[in-house]
Amino acid sequence: MQDYFQRSRLGNAMDSLGFHFFTLVLSNFWFILLWGLGPSSLIAGAALYVMIVILRKKVRDDHVTRREAQLRAAIGGELALDRLLLTAPEKANFEIAMLLSLREPLTLIQAGENGVLCARKGKKWLVSFLQAPRDSGVSPADVLKLQREIRLLNADSGLLCVCGKVSAEAAKQAERAPAVFFLEREKLIAMLGSANPATDSQLVALGRSRKKAAPSHWLRLILHPSRARRYACYGALLLGMYLLTHLFYYAVPGLVCVSLAAACRCVRRGESAFPDGSWTGQDVP
């Protein structure tokens, strides 16, 4: 579930500030090169800056709408899958079979603890949901258990819905008669998420579950080695503007960015840059 958390507010604020600042500077710089320094150049640069900001806002709004729908489906699918892991086996199998019947021409015949017997194109299928955590994987014993149930119910094939990775031995066992096919975690999440997108209350509860970041977390976030190149680029651009315009307020943030880039490089070379020794250079914010 950690994959769906947003970036830090500090990172978003810094990226937004950097975009607006450099867009305004480059817009004015373009017209200054064309027309020279004057009121008309500054007005034209400001107009270009406003047009770029409006266009960016429209594109981002469309992207955010699509992204929100995708995230709600993904988070809702994850939450629904976690709930099914703790549900009674017979009910979990029935819910999975019902969702499949909305996408495939399945007719539910009989529900049981080990699966739901369905009819599809003249053949009988046994749909079963393996209630096992993601890290446990799928073993040949799990496949063999479903195959015995298929034989017992006189079905033709089986569909095993799994949360973990299917091992090579399990895949080999599934090829033997009666054949067993797999519906893996990603497809399960997509199917569950389309039927159960995350609600606002679920998203709020998920956000509250995050622990408040300690000061050391913000320090690791600011001085992470992956940010060194970005700091260096910002610093070089600001110092370049200072050399062109001789305006002092370009030099100060430029020197700050260069200093941050150097600090990130030092963290990369050092094994630990914090008093408690917690920084190892492995965790990425």
Within the chain, which residues score under 50 in pLDDT? 1-5, 270-285
Q: What order of strands is seen across the sheet that includes strand 123-129?
A: 107-112, 115-120, 123-129, 157-161, 180-183
Question: How many domains are contained in the chain?
Answer: 2
CATH number of the structural domain spanning residue 124:
3.40.1350.10
The whole-number pLDDT of residue 213 equals 52
Question: Does a structural domain hold residue 60?
Answer: no
Distance between CA 79 and CA 83 in Å, rounded? 6
The whole-number pLDDT of residue 285 equals 36
Question: Does a structural domain hold residue 27?
Answer: no
Question: Does a structural domain hold residue 141?
Answer: yes
Domain boundary among 169, 195, 221: 195
Is residue 191 located within the same domain as residue 217?
Answer: no
Q: Are strands 123-129 and 157-161 parallel, antiparallel or unpaired?
A: parallel
The whole-number pLDDT of residue 209 equals 61
How far, in whole angstroms, is CA 184 from its chain's centroid? 18
The whole-number pLDDT of residue 177 equals 82
Question: Does a structural domain hold residue 39?
Answer: no
The whole-number pLDDT of residue 167 equals 87
| pTM assigned to the model | 0.53
234's CB contacts (< 8 A; 6+ apart) are 18, 253, 254, 257
Take residue 89 and report the two structure tokens written for it.
Answer: 């086996």
Is residue 105 located within the same domain as residue 186?
Answer: yes
The span from the first CA to the last CA of the chain, in angstroms, equals: 15
Distance between CA 243 and CA 152 in Å, rounded? 82
Question: Does a structural domain hold residue 217?
Answer: yes
Distance between CA 257 and CA 65 in Å, rounded? 33
What range defines the domain where residue 136 resides? Answer: 89-195
Decide: 264 and 227 in contact? Cβ < 8 Å: yes
